[in-house]
């Protein structure tokens, strides 16, 4: 999967870098609006006010120390004692201010973490299932998680580090101008030179380090993939080869990375030397003023300290700006993912469905297509063309066809992962787009092809699809009864009964056990329509039979079913209607993609060439003949 940040545009000059900086403000402005609550902002404002007060007190301390020095030289002990008392008061006040500031920061940080978690989850969940499937490179949990971590760090960094830096810088310049306008002008020139240098260096950082970071991500993905697939690496005897490759890859990246950052360090040292020379020159100027009698000796101390604070804060601002730039790709990718407009939403006045009634489902002239790839290719791959069929209440319908015939697309349209490009999916003669999506999904049970078992207990997984009120009404006996009907007997693995932990992704269960657990979870909803997506395609024949028996046990007469099956044996005795789809590209002009509809395998065998091929490939016996 391609990292969305790999396509980041690299600034080629300072103008493009400034344009990139404007984009940075836009992205972080979005993050501020979405993830910083009004209550958190109030705590932040209090914290910033306290920080500014603490900054003023810190900036005043060198001036008070000046009074101590001058008092000692001039023998004015009253002035010395007064200054020391004031310094003590300033330091105590400063400590109390930072105690209050830490409280504000803790409150705002906790609120922000909660808001980032809640709001990012809300925005992530509101996207349609089709968007999650098609945009899994951008709209992925890993991508959003990276951005989530960077948002919290950068927002607080800008508020609690950036604001004090700017305040100290501004106050240092003001105090310096008051003492010596000439020195203030010189440091202002240093600031301009520094900003030009900063602009140049950070442009170089983006130009050189973006490709290096891209290679770091490639290296990390390769390493993690090999760790995750350690079984294949070891059974292929590739441990030594992989180690050699990763060592060479790492050495190449670190060589380029080290060479550039040594250059940056060298340039930074030259800048630092320039700043030192200017500071020392101004210190000499101050000493000359003392020699002339224009200044007192003590004035040299705040004069020197404020110059140093200007230089130190210039470096800190550079460091802060660089950290913001490196967090920018992750936050921007998160913003692009979470600001996507959901392509499936409830209409303004959705129709109501009767929860006690099994609906009639109809596909009427449904057509659908997908983009061929995610690289800007806008060509369309047509999967469904004018598909029409009906699932009457209580019918158990098998959807049969070769790979690529559109079976999974039918399943997704029926669950409204997305809406068809043309045609209608009707529920009791109402377009599915006009039905409240949550109401529809409450009536539908779904068993996916790959079991989606959640980390937790058997009980938790079985009850996951129910509301709190429905869960409260389910007894342990209800669950045990269901498990007996579905043959969910895990033997020695059922060590704690219904509270047995199944592990992350059901790692403590076999494939058949996990699939039967998913059937149980779907059945617990008491669905009016059960959709099963090739649930036995990856199981052995014995386990397939057990899963099939479980399905037979739960498909009551009042429940409709759509079963997508590649293995014909799964649906032969389970379904009452069989629909054969052929790939859209085989239909030609005006051809019907629904090749056949029948009530038995024998009837299908007579009228469907696609079914005859599938049954022959799978050795299915029809009328005593394979």
What is the bridge-based pairing of β-strands 396-400 and 560-564?
A: parallel
Same domain, 388 and 302: no
Mean pLDDT score of the chain, rounded to an integer? Answer: 84
The pLDDT confidence band at residue 500, using thresholds 50, 70 and 90, is confident
- 401/458 same-domain check: yes
| Burial (Cβ within 10 Å: 0-12, 13-18, ≥19) of residue 327 | buried
Q: Judge whether 139 lies within some domain.
A: yes
Residue 13 has a pLDDT of 63
Co-location of 113 and 152 in the same domain: yes
Domain match, 476 and 602 both: yes
Give the list of residues 6+ apart from residue 117 with CB closer than 8 angstroms, or none.
Answer: 148
Q: What is the 3-state secondary structure (H, E, C) of 510-552?
A: CHHHHHHHHHHHHHHCCCCEEEEECCCCCCCHHHHHHHHHHHH
DSSP string for residues in 96-165: HHHHHHHHHHHHHHHHHHHHHHHHHHHHHHHS-HHHHHHTTTTS-HHHHHHHHHHHHHHHHHIIIIIHHH
Query: Which residues have CB under 8 Å from 243's CB, separation 6+?
Result: none
Give the Cα separation of 185 and 167 in Å (integer): 18
- Provide the pLDDT for residue 153: 83
Burial of 597 (0-12, 13-18, 19+ CB in 10 A): middle
How confident is the model over 59-82, as pLDDT tens digits?
899 999 999 999 999 889 999 999
The answer, yes or no, to whether residue 269 has pLDDT greater than 80, is yes
pLDDT attached to residue 537: 61
Does residue 512 sit in the same domain as residue 589?
yes
At CA 137, angle to CA 418 and CA 385, rounded to 5? 30
Q: Residue 195: inside a domain, yes or no?
A: no
pLDDT digits (tens, 9 = 90+) for 76-107: 999 999 999 999 999 999 999 999 999 998 99
- What is the average per-residue pLDDT within 486-493? 68
Residues 410, 446 share a domain: yes
Model pLDDT for residues 3-25, shown as the tens digit of each residue: 444 455 555 666 666 666 677 78
**CATH number, position 146:** 1.20.1560.10
Select from 48, 7, 313, 17 the least CA-distant residue to 155: 48
* 3-state SS record for 40-54: HHHHHHHHHHHHHHH
Name the residue with higher pLDDT: 45 or 537. Answer: 45
- Predicted pLDDT at 625: 53
Residue 326 pLDDT > 50? yes
Q: What is the mean pLDDT of residues 17-45?
A: 84
Q: What DSSP character marks residue 453?
A: P
Separation CA 333–CA 155 (nearest Å): 16
List the one residue out of 506, 459, 501, 456 whose CA is nearest residue 478.
Answer: 459
Best-predicted range by mean pLDDT among 309-313, 315-319, 407-411, 481-485?
407-411
pTM of the model: 0.78
Tell me: do 559 and 517 sit in the same domain.
yes
| pLDDT given at position 215 | 86
Helix (H) / strand (E) element for 3: namely: none
| Burial of residue 189 (number of CB atoms within 10 Å: 0-12, 13-18, 19+) | exposed
Using 50, 70 and 90 to split pLDDT, how confident is the model at 431?
very high
The DSSP result for 313-371, as a single string, is HHHHHHHHHHHHHHHHHHHHHHHHHHTSPPS----SSPBP--TTSPPPEEEEEEEEEEE
Q: Is there a single domain that holds both residue 393 and residue 538?
A: yes
CA distances (Å), origin 620, targets 199, 422, 561, 601: 72, 36, 23, 10
How many angstroms separate the CA atoms of 542 and 547, rounded? 9
Q: Is 195 helix (H, G, I), strand (E, B) or coil?
A: helix
Closest C-alpha to 299, from 183, 190, 189: 183
Q: Looking at the predicted structure, is the pLDDT value of residue 206 above 80?
A: no
Domain membership of residue 346 (yes or no) is: no
Inter-CA distances, 320 with 9, 324, 349, 437, Å: 21, 6, 50, 46
Asked whether 10 and 207 are in contact (CB, 8 A), the reply is: yes
Q: Which of 10, 494, 463 is nearest to 208 (CA)?
A: 10
Q: Which residues contact 486 (CB under 8 A, 6 or more apart)?
A: 516, 519, 520, 523, 550, 553, 554
H/E element holding 465?
A: none
164 shares a domain with 114: yes
- Residue 250 in domain: no
**199 or 561, greater pLDDT:** 561
Residue 273: inside a domain: yes
Which H helix or E strand runs over 445?
strand 444-447
- Are residues 384 and 326 part of one domain? no
| Count of CA atoms in the C-beta half-sphere (13 A) of 162 | 14
Per the domain annotation, does 626 fall within a domain?
A: no
Q: What percent of the chain has pLDDT over 90?
A: 29
Q: For the segment 568-598, what is each residue's pLDDT rounded down to a tens digit?
A: 877 888 888 999 998 888 876 667 889 899 9
- Is pLDDT above 60 for 195? yes
Instruction: Indicate the range of 98-102, 142-146, 410-414 predicted with least confidence.
Output: 142-146
| 593, part of any domain | yes
What 8-state DSSP symbol labels residue 456? S
Q: Which residue has the higher pLDDT, 352 or 278?
A: 278
CATH of the domain at 504: 3.40.50.300
State the pLDDT at residue 539: 62
Confidence of residue 373 (pLDDT cuts 50, 70, 90): very low
Asked whether residue 154 falls in the same domain as residue 282, the answer is: yes
H or E element, residue 88: helix 77-126
In this structure, the answer to whether residues 323 and 365 fall within a common structural domain is: no
Question: What domain range includes position 94?
Answer: 14-184+264-339
Please name the residues in contact with 144: beta carbons below 8 A apart, sequence gap of 6 or more.
120, 124, 334, 337, 338
Q: How far is 329 from 371, CA to CA, in rounded Å? A: 26
CA distance 502 to 505: 8
Tally of domains in the chain: 2
In a domain, 240, yes or no: no
């Amino acid at each position: 999967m391609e990292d969305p940040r790999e396509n980041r545009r690299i600034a080629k000059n300072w103008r493009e870098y400034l344009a990139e900086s404007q984009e940075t403000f836009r992205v972080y402005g979005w993050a501020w609006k979405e993830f910083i609550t009004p209550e958190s902002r109030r705590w932040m404002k209090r914290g910033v006010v306290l920080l500014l007060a603490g900054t003023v007190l810190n900036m005043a301390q060198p001036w008070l120390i000046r009074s101590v020095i001058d008092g000692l030289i001039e023998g004015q002990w009253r002035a010395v004692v007064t200054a020391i008392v004031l310094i003590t008061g300033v330091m105590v006040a400063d400590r109390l201010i930072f105690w209050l500031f830490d409280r504000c920061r803790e409150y705002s940080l906790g609120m922000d973490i909660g808001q980032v978690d809640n709001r990012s989850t809300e925005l992530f969940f509101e996207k349609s299932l089709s968007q999650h499937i098609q945009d899994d490179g951008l709209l992925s949990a890993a991508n959003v998680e990276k951005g989530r971590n960077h948002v919290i760090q950068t927002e607080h960094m800008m508020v609690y580090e950036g604001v004090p830096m700017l305040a100290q810088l501004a106050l240092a310049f003001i105090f310096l101008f008051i003492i010596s306008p000439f020195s203030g002008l010189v440091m202002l020139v240093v600031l301009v030179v520094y900003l030009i240098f900063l602009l140049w260096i950070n442009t170089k950082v983006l130009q050189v380090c973006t490709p290096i970071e891209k290679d770091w991500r490639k290296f990390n993905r390769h390493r993690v993939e090999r760790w995750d697939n350690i079984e294949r690496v070891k059974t292929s005897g590739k441990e030594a080869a992989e180690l050699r490759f990763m060592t060479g890859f790492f050495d190449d990246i670190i060589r380029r990375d080290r060479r550039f950052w040594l250059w940056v360090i060298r340039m930074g040292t030259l800048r630092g030397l320039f700043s030192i020379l200017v500071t020392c020159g101004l210190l000499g100027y101050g000493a000359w003023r003392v020699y002339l009698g224009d200044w007192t000796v003590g004035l040299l101390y705040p004069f020197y300290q404020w110059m140093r604070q200007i230089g130190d804060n210039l470096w800190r601002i550079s460091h802060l700006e660089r950290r913001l730039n490196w967090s920018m790709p992750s936050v921007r990718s998160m913003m692009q993912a979470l600001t996507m407009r959901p392509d499936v939403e409830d209409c303004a006045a959705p129709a109501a469905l009767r929860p006690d009634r099994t609906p009639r489902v109809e596909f009427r002239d449904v057509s659908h297509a997908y983009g061929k790839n995610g690289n800007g290719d806008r060509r369309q791959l047509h999967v469904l063309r004018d598909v029409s069929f009906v699932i009457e209440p209580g019918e158990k319908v098998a959807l049969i066809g070769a790979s690529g015939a559109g079976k999974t697309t039918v399943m997704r349209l029926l669950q409204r992962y997305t809406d068809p490009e043309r045609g209608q999916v009707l529920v009791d003669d109402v377009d599915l787009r006009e039905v409240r999506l949550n109401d529809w999904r409450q009536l539908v049970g779904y068993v996916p092809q790959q079991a989606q078992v959640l980390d937790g207990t058997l009980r938790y997984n079985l009850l996951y699809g129910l509301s709190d009120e429905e869960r409260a009404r389910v007894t342990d006996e209800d669950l045990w009864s269901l498990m007996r009907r579905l043959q969910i007997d895990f033997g020695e693995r059922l060590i704690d009964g219904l509270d047995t932990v199944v592990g992350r992704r059901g790692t403590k269960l076999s494939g058949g056990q996990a699939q039967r657990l998913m059937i149980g979870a779907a059945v617990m909803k008491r669905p009016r329509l059960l959709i099963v997506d090739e649930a036995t395609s990856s199981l052995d024949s014995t386990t397939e039979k057990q899963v099939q028996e479980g399905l037979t046990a739960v498909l009551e007469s009042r429940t409709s079913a759509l079963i997508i099956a590649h293995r014909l044996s799964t649906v032969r005795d389970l379904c009452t209607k069989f629909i054969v789809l052929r790939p859209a590209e085989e239909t030609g002009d005006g051809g019907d993609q629904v090749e056949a509809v029948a009530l038995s395998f024998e009837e299908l065998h007579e009228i469907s060439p696609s079914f005859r091929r599938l049954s022959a490939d799978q050795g299915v016996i029809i009328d005593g003949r394979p």
